[in-house]
Structure 1
Amino acid sequence: MIALHPFSAKAAVNQAHLRLMETTDLHVHIYPYDYYSDRPVDTVGLARTAAHIAEIRAEATNALLFDNGDFLQGNPMGDYIAYERGMKDGDMHPIIQAMNAVGFDASTLGNHEFNYGLDFVMRSIAGAVFPVISANIVRTLGARPTEDSTLVPPYVILERTLIDGAGVAYPIRVGVIGFMPPQVMTWDRRHLEGKVAVRDIVETARAWVPVIKQEGADIVVALNHSGIGEADHVEGQENASVPLAAVEGIDVVMTGHQHLFFPGPAFEGIAGVDAERGTIHGKPAVMGGFWGSHLGLIDLMLERTGDGWRIIGHESALRAISRRNDDRTVTPLVTSERHVLDSVAREHNETLSYIRRAVGRTSAPLYSYFALVADDPSVQIVANAQLWYVAEMLAGTPHAGLPLLSAAAPFKAGGRSGPDYYTDVPAGDIAIMHVADLYLFPNTVRAVRVTGAQLRGWLERSAGMFNRIVPGTQDQVLLNPDFPSYNFDVIDGVDYRIDLSQPSRFDPKGKLVDPGAARIVDLALKGRAVTDDMEFVVATNNYRAGGGGDFPGADGSTIILEAPDTNRDVIVRYIAEQGTIDPTADNNWRFAPMPGTTVLFDTGPRAMAYLDQMTALDVEPAGDGPDGFIRFRIAL
């Protein structure tokens, strides 16, 4: 027997209960399967989320399902389709097949949709039987947003029927508008520059929402592939959900992009946000995690007024597909919907064949459990491959004589993605799945020319990963949880130490907060101190070189090489050419000594298997951390 939601039970004549469901940041996760480790998992997959969707549809007569973007890229299935099978006119992308099978009512575009190029996006979404919208990405700009030529429809008005508490059917018009971060023009400049433009989210909403209301929408839902950030509007804001919710005429805000959970404690203390109740400026909002981990759910109690509807009550909630237990095991809370699995079974099996191809061997394991506290083999091999490739590309150019460095960051280093989210490749054969595990994104190689001052600033920006540590104290928390691991660049080719007693020069988002701060000490090139006027070439990726992360020396103006190859392809070619690689870290960076001082950091439980290899650190186990992590103590 299905228990009715209180709104359904209480709905009277001329009142109706409407349930709005959200998925966000699916990143091609359909099966409950980790293609990087080649094993089933219980924590991801639209096929699992679909079980919640089916249950909610059974609970409520009136329900709508939306996706909030970032569905086309994010795991090896996405790469297989983009790089191996391709998308020709008329082809069906597996995530679209699965979304069609689940029965979405509408979706917006996210920034990662464009990682494989504009044509790929348009061919992929052509197979959707639901509208795909976005108001702020445009082919040509008009004098104001409503005069733009948008890439896809800016909004859709869904005409549906509501059954009220007395069982009488009435029409309702639900306006749905979509947005994405303007930063996509930086992150995917190579695909988008000269082809599209992206407007500010709030500016666009202020122009389009009155149009939607004029067309008779009873309620307006914003599918905002943008997170919950600063309370005040800032032009070009990446995480704009708070000022967006303040736009008159918007009734519901569905958010995403940050891979977080709302309602939830991650957003406590932000002006205008009720993190427990799930409202922004009093309006219902939700953020449904990532990879299908949760279904976002907003329940609306509507009352009929004249010929329209108004919201008289609302609730926001999340439904998880799994539960992590105190003993670090995971309990599934739902089972996969068979028809969703069946819709992409062929592509799933083809992806398994794709990821299992061997390309070479490694003489030692590749793991990232200690990548944020010591030089690391999983980062080292990426840096080595980039150096190998860029040196060849720059041969014979005016830049060839400059010192060549390589910047690489650990992509899989726990954090918000949990204690299993680490690279862990045993010694022996390396397959494509292992390379994809080392380098998650389809970035392309870039090289930038920087000064010694910019190089030092780059490293200072990376050193914002760490909290300031008071010398002589015990067991201070080392890592800043607001600093993403993909912005912790290690630069190979120079030696340096990080003085944790000093303040950070930059905040976690890259804003300069203390110009005189200097955590980077003893910066040297082959034993020679680096001076501000020296020049270097740094191998990196298009995201970083184009301004991603706001690093000194990497704002798009210093690029000297725009390579056609992805960083992943370069790693594959490097391993294939070497035959057997040696990923041993060269320990070119470490923490400056602080006698009598210890710090704590959390990592995945599998780190214990590699503890004896951490000869560069004085490290020991320190018990359990939260949420399935294990804790270590480092003596500085």
Structure 2
Amino acid sequence: MPLRSCRLTALFSAVLLAACASQPHPAAQPQALPQGLRADVAVLETTDIHSNILSYDYYKQKADPTLGFERTVTLIRKARGQFTNSFLFDAGDTIQGSVLADYQAQVQKIGCDQELAVYKSMDAIGYDGGTIGNHEFNYGLPYLSQVTGTPMNVEGTSAQRCTGPHYPLVLANVNSVRDGKPIFKPWTIIDRKIAAYTPDGSQLSVPLKIAIIGFAPPPIMQWDKQNLQGKVTVTGVVEAAQKYLPEIQAQHPDLVIAILHGGMNNAPYTPDMENGGWYLAGVPGIDVLLMGHEHTDFPGPRFAHMQDVDDEHGFVRGVPAVMGGFFGKDLGVIRLALVRQQDHWVIDKSKTFSQVWPICPPTMVNGKPTVSPSNCVPADPQIPLVVGKVQQAAIDYVNTPIGQSNVRMSSYFADEGDMSALAPVNAAQIDYAQQALPSAHPELANTPVLGSAAAFRTGFGGPDDYTDVMPGPLTLRSAADLYFYPNTLSAVKIDGKGLKAWLEQSAQRFNRINPNATGEQQLINDKYVGYNFDQIQGGIAYIIDVSKPAGERIVKLTYRGKPITTAQTFVVVTNNYRASGGGHFPGLDGNNIVLAAPDGTREILARWLQKHPSLVAKDLPRASWHFAKLKTHGPVVFTSASDKQAVAETDGLHNIKQVRDNGDGTAVYAIDLSH
């Protein structure tokens, strides 16, 4: 009944009176905002926190002021004080990656009514939204469903809604096999009031409507195959954006922010591209791009030569973008300058820019930017209060004794042939497979079993980012230091040709060295990550000739002293990431897996160490490779932690010499390849 007909007269019945009372009033029309209105909005981003909540090194058991979300919070508060209008988002890889994370997921599992420590910490400062990274899937979908408070229509998960973070999580490209629907909300709308200014300087409080849409890297189906196969499917980031943007635009948002757990690659696009940010920025309708996953900064020099990328002001194909580091080391900040034109908010790109704020601003030492712990911002005092009890419980747990070692196991020179930190991992993997294979695959009972491991901590995160287990008591912390990730064990069957191809791929860790060059040559190829430098042990021996081009570097490959033939069969024990295609190694795509253990590699290693309560050198496999002899006219150099030459000497690398200290905890070493 039209409202205008409702007149209170004696002729109206009580029913009609009730109908009048229930009539909806016309919605107040939104007041038109003046043209030329301006507003500055800060879009703040964290990414790849990896549950590094406090500034603490669990492996060395000491404070580490160069990382930790508690210091990022200090920057968040600073940004909120500097910008009247701000929004805070997280780009994933949040719940995994520290001893504390493993403790809550695998040891003292939290209940449905409890909130995960990292989410409690994030809620303490207040977030507006976030997305899901690849490492969120490491502990399985039931755990992810529980700790994010997101019931999923997926096998093995509960329909019960548990306690999750107090901000929305969005993910548009991971769908349930059961119903084809996203396991998280693909997108959501955030309505806020912001302060804006008229051309004459008057301040107004006006509405701003932001849509956020999230994306995980499509290769999760390889990396976490054992957790995801048959349960979810993944679509490319561009395809997912194109699917949901019409729905989003129907809500008439002022801005659309894409939150991608991925970086940038402008190679030809494929739906399974790991770092699709460059292509996502080109999808019409995306106004702002937040990135992660690559553990680097944008804006930053790594992307300086990429087409249509402004690495100084932070634009990707004309879209403001940021990627804010990792481990709580940085805060990504986009300063959006908005102006009202033709009844719409428009980004004024001439006044918009992105920055990455470090918790430890570098200072110049000998002409080089250097991070000093004394220059780091203070930790926010509120965060330790939130997680103090569970932090101490995790520390107590990893100090559980498991044995004794007479061997120093370190990764300071893992790239140069020191396998002391890899040998126990390979020994444990080989031992496990040799016991499990005869019953699982009797036909492989007599097949040689090899172990493959990579040094996960080789200085990428700074001078303390190395494994270093000293002689003396061993604890669960030692096992966590030796094996950093919560991978499970897998074994693959390959032939001699595939084994050589595996090693050739790994040898891309090195630059090609020109023996005739007189200047310094860098040994390590920084574009090839350390965790993809697999080193294989178990009776094989090989030589790496860095003077040869990639693909031709493995020479004199033998097994028990005899040359390996192309048709010779081996079982290589590795982790689920590598066996399922992680790193794009030739011949490794999940189809030749002969053993997929339910056990974590770290737990397998801990049990092996317990079986060797007094570990000595003879318990460990010998180093399996060395560099081919090469006389060079100029020095071949690499970087490691400073003052570690004695470690190299003790472990038999007598051709390494420290040549200069960088003043930041690292040093340049020269390696004499002629010896």
TM-score, scaled relative to structure 2: 0.87
Equivalent residue number for residue 322 of structure 2: 286
Specify which of 235, 240, 243 is matched with residue 199 of structure 1.
235
Partner SS, residue 537 of structure 1: strand
**Most deviating of 381-390 and 110-119:** 381-390
3-state SS in 1 of match to 2:426: helix
Map Cα deviations across residues 42-72 of structure 1 (whole Å, 9 max, x no partner): 1111111111111221222211000000001
Aligned to 1:633: 670
**Structure 2 equivalent of residue 128 of structure 1:** 165
Match in the other structure for 1:321: 359
Aligned to 2:581: 547
Give me the whole-angstrom Cα distance separating, in 2, the residues matched to 1:345 and 1:13. 49
Are 1:28 and 1:75, in contact at CA under 8 Å, matched by a contact in 2?
A: yes
Matched, 1:455 2:489: no
Alignment partner of 2:92 out of 58, 65, 69: 69
Matched to 2:399, the amino acid is: R
**Pairing partner for 2:652 from 591, 615, 635:** 615
- For residue 60 of structure 2, give the secondary structure of its aligned residue in structure 1: coil
Structure 2 SS opposite 1:132: coil
| Partner residue, 1:337 | 380
- Specify the alignment match of 2:429 in structure 1: 386
> How far is the alpha carbon of 1:342 from its aligned partner?
1.0
Equivalent residue, structure 2, for 1:586: 622
Name the CA distance, whole Å, in 2 between partners of 1:608 and 1:333.
29
Aligned to 2:480: 436
* Corresponding residue number in structure 2 for 1:498: 544
The one of 195, 207, 224 aligned to 1:163 = 195
Look up the equivalent residue of 1:461 and give its one-letter code.
Q
CA separation of 1:624/1:12 partners in 2, compared to 1, >3 Å: closer, same or farther?
Answer: farther
**Distance in structure 2 (CA, Å) of the matches to 1:351 and 1:38:** 12
Write the distance in 1 (CA, Å) between the matches of 2:614 and 2:632: 42
Distance of 2:36 and 2:65 partners within structure 1:
42
SS in 2 for 1:536: strand
- 2:10 — aligned with what? none
The percent identity for this pair of structures is 36
What is the distance in 2 between the residues matched to 1:334 and 1:596? 45
Larger radius of gyration: 2
Report the Cα distance in structure 1 between the residues aligned to 2:631 and 2:278, rounded to whole angstroms: 45
Structure 1's unaligned 5+ residue stretches are 1-10, 143-147, 506-517
Amino acid at match of 2:577: Y
The one-letter code of the counterpart of 2:473 is: D
Q: Distance in 2 between matches of 1:232 and 1:532?
A: 33
1-structure distance, mates of 2:305, 2:337: 27
**Residue 351 of structure 1, CA deviation:** 1.2
User: 527-536 or 467-476: which moved more?
Assistant: 467-476
Q: Which runs of 5+ in 2 are unaligned?
A: 1-33, 150-163
Please tell me the residue identity of whatever aligns with 1:629: T
Match of 2:533 among 463, 481, 488: 488
| TM-aligned CA distance change 1:606 to 1:198, over 3 Å | farther
1:546 is matched by which residue type in structure 2?
S
Do 2:92 and 2:132's aligned partners in 1 also have CA atoms closer than 8 Å? Answer: yes
One-letter code of the match for 1:578?
H
How far, CA to CA, are the matches of 1:197 and 1:572 in structure 2?
34
Partner SS, residue 322 of structure 1: coil
Greater alpha carbon shift after TM alignment, 126-135 vs 302-311: 302-311
Are positions 1:569 and 2:603 aligned together?
yes
Q: Does the 8 Å contact 1:375/1:589 carry over to 2?
A: no
Matched, 1:468 2:512: yes
Q: Secondary structure at the match of 1:565?
A: strand
SS at match of 1:615: coil
* C-alpha distance in 2 between matches for 1:300 and 1:141: 41
The answer to whether the Cα contact below 8 Å between 2:537 and 2:623 also exists between their aligned partners in 1 is no
Q: What is residue 245 of structure 1 aligned with on the other side?
A: 281
Report the AA paired with residue 57 of structure 2.
D
1:624 aligns with 2:661: yes
TM-score, normalised to structure 1's length? Answer: 0.93
Report the 3-state secondary structure (helix = DSSP H, G, I; strand = E; otherwise coil) of the residue aligned with 1:208. Answer: helix
Distance 2:68 2:372 in 1: 18
Q: Deviations over 1:121-175 (max 9, x none)?
A: 1111112110011000111488xxxxx5100000111001111122211111101
Residues in 2 aligned to 1:231 and 1:615: alpha-carbon distance in whole angstroms: 42
Runs of 4+ in structure 1 displaced over 4 angstroms?
A: 625-628
State which drifts further: 57-66 or 568-577.
Answer: 57-66
Q: Distance in 1 between matches of 2:524 and 2:175?
A: 39
Give the C-alpha shift of residue 322 in structure 1: 1.0
Root-mean-square deviation (CA, aligned residues, Å) is: 1.8
1:179 deviates by: 0.4
State how far apart, in whole Å, the 1-side matches of 2:568 and 2:558 are.
11
Distance 1:471 1:311 in 2: 53
Q: Is the 8 A contact 1:447 1:562 kept in 2?
A: yes
User: How far did residue 626 of structure 1 move?
Assistant: 8.5
